[in-house]
Amino acid sequence: MVAAKGAAMHALLWSVALAATPSIPFSRYELPNGLDVTLSPDHTVPVVCVNVWYDVGSRDEAAGRSGFAHLFEHLRFNGSQHADDDYFKPLQPLGARVNGSTNLDRTNYYECLPSEQLPLALFLEADRMGWLLPALTETKLQNQKDVVRNERRQNYDNPPYGQAWLEILRNSYPEGHPYHIATIGKHEEIEAATLDDVKGFFRTWYLPNNASLVLSGDFDEAEARTLVERYFGPVAAGPSPVRTVPARPAFTEAKAVRAVDDVPFEKVWLVWHTPALFQPGDAELDLLSSALASGKDSRLYKALVHEQQIAQDVTAYQSSAGYSSLFVVSATASAGHGGAELVAAIDAVLGEVATRPITDAEVEVGRTAYEVQFFGSIATIQGKADLLNNYNTRTHDPGYLAKDLARYQAATAAGVNSAHKEWLPPDRRLVLTIGPASATPEVK
């Protein structure tokens, strides 16, 4: 009885939360050197998160220099002029959470630690923003080149089906497009990186006027402003980076690619070019992916896994990015079945949408899942910091949360069905199959 009441209360709280308009209180200003600063005090726990995003990703790498953005993320944990030691060394004894990541569009770093240690985190971040190069050596570079190449082996070269994303990007975007090569880069280009190459990348992109700093958590705002000015104010600005935004590519016909791997079953990926992040249609395609493959009642799961039993798993997702996105449907064949059979079954389900459209109820299930995701993302100080910086870097509005959520709340079944018809034509897409060397699937 107590458990039932608890579950009912939990459901009630979520319904009240979802009915509210989400927001994260913040103030925003800019230092004279161009550093964008967002402050979001939250005194619920004695923790502060320092979160820095740079508007640079693998999309910004020069030809023949793939992997630079990710390599540089690693190099920034190896010490700077006034703190020339492993970046984690002074922070981990404090129980700090420290990390960074790189993708096609951006690079980010964060430290979440006890509130009284805010000056230390700001000092370390500012020092590697302004004074990394004096501490950068050939030994450090070679060490991190080895680390990054090993990361590629672990995540892409050696795991079953690990090459899929590399193949998807290579075959979806033409050579020379910023998204043609995955963020991890190519072995030979990472190995060829020189100290001068890396220093040039830093001077071009790692500038205060190409960065966004967010503080979230337990701090005094006036004191934080003083500390930010003290540590980041002396960092010199540079020429604002210039980039050319490419047009969104489009498949002009159906494209089929097969790759071989040491795997027992064939797996397929169906890929379409779709609108960029936050553009019209992006949210509708998220909701379409939910109706197609989120949960055991979704259309693709019921057809391929439950009813026909030709697939072990099936997924669908809108992979949103700043220049353009990809809508992906993927499935792994069950024993005795192959990729061609999976593609035919997926096409049958997608084709049925024309005669049995996505319903209001299916859209509502997806919308609720995204609403829960939005509110979950602001449940922690670290989540708030990252969300504020995500929006600020991508939209120049840290408070974009309500507008982002509104895209899903305003979406209709008619809009989702229209997005399906517009963006998922069967004759303009990529079909990637990865399987064993033999074209005949292994039977077990």
Contact at 8 Å (CB) between 141 and 197? Answer: no
Judgement on whether residues 40 and 183 belong to the same structural domain of the protein: yes
CATH label of the domain that carries residue 350 = 3.30.830.10
Domain count along the chain:
2
Average pLDDT of 148-176? 97
* 180-195 pLDDT per residue, tens: 999 999 999 999 999 9
Residue 1 has pLDDT above 80, yes or no: no
Asked if residue 6 is part of any domain, the answer here is no
Contact at 8 Å (CB) between 341 and 5? Answer: no
Annotate 209-251 with three-state secondary structure. Answer: HHEEEEEEECCCHHHHHHHHHHHHCCCCCCCCCCCCCCCCCCC
Judgement on whether residues 371 and 426 belong to the same structural domain of the protein: yes
Contact at 8 Å (CB) between 275 and 324? Answer: yes
Range of the domain at 42: 25-232
Asked if residue 19 is part of any domain, the answer here is no
Contact at 8 Å (CB) between 428 and 274? Answer: no
For residue 273, the surrounding DSSP H or E stretch is strand 267-274
Judgement on whether residues 131 and 265 belong to the same structural domain of the protein: no
DSSP alpha helix (H) spans, 38-137: 68-75, 118-130
* 33-67 pLDDT per residue, tens: 999 999 999 999 999 999 999 999 999 999 999 99
Question: What is the average pLDDT value for the chain, to the nearest integer?
Answer: 93
- pLDDT range class, residue 17, cuts 50, 70, 90: very low
Asked if residue 243 is part of any domain, the answer here is no
Average pLDDT of 315-326? 98
Asked if residue 111 is part of any domain, the answer here is yes
pLDDT at 72: 93
Asked if residue 245 is part of any domain, the answer here is no
Q: Could you tell me the two tokens for 350?
A: 């997608």
- pLDDT range class, residue 9, cuts 50, 70, 90: very low
Asked if residue 261 is part of any domain, the answer here is yes
pLDDT at 10: 41
Q: Could you tell me which residues come within 8 angstroms of residue 283 by beta carbon, excluding any fewer than 6 positions away?
A: 407, 408, 411
Judgement on whether residues 193 and 272 belong to the same structural domain of the protein: no
Asked if residue 33 is part of any domain, the answer here is yes
Contact at 8 Å (CB) between 201 and 25? Answer: no
pLDDT at 438: 75
Average pLDDT of 220-235? 98
Q: Could you tell me the two tokens for 82?
A: 């006034």
* 269-308 pLDDT per residue, tens: 999 999 999 999 999 999 999 999 999 999 999 999 999 9
| Amino acid, res. 135 | A
Average pLDDT of 148-160? 97
Q: Which of 199, 232, 265 is a domain's end point?
A: 232
Judgement on whether residues 222 and 288 belong to the same structural domain of the protein: no
Judgement on whether residues 326 and 422 belong to the same structural domain of the protein: yes
Judgement on whether residues 269 and 145 belong to the same structural domain of the protein: no
Judgement on whether residues 164 and 290 belong to the same structural domain of the protein: no
Flag whether the pTM goes above 0.85. yes
Q: Could you tell me which residues come within 8 angstroms of residue 286 by beta carbon, excluding any fewer than 6 positions away?
A: 317, 318, 320, 366, 370, 408
| Amino acid, res. 424 | L
Judgement on whether residues 167 and 284 belong to the same structural domain of the protein: no
- pLDDT range class, residue 5, cuts 50, 70, 90: very low
Query: In this structure, is the dihedral angle defined by the CA atoms of residues 262, 267, 272 and 276, taken in order, positive or negative?
Result: negative
Judgement on whether residues 418 and 382 belong to the same structural domain of the protein: yes
Contact at 8 Å (CB) between 431 and 343? Answer: yes
pLDDT at 345: 98
Judgement on whether residues 302 and 391 belong to the same structural domain of the protein: yes
pLDDT at 23: 85
Asked if residue 315 is part of any domain, the answer here is yes
Judgement on whether residues 60 and 203 belong to the same structural domain of the protein: yes
Average pLDDT of 250-266? 96
What backbone phi and psi angles, to 5 degrees, belong to 40?
-135, 85
Residue 440 has pLDDT above 70, yes or no: no
pLDDT at 439: 58
Q: Bin 178: left if φ > 0, else alpha if -120 < ψ < 50, else beta.
A: alpha
Average pLDDT of 391-410? 96
* 82-117 pLDDT per residue, tens: 999 999 999 999 999 999 999 999 999 999 999 999
Instruction: In whole angstroms, give the CA distance from residue 64 to residue 78.
Output: 25
User: For the ranges 151-160, 238-247, 357-366, which has the lowest average pLDDT?
Assistant: 238-247
pLDDT at 22: 79
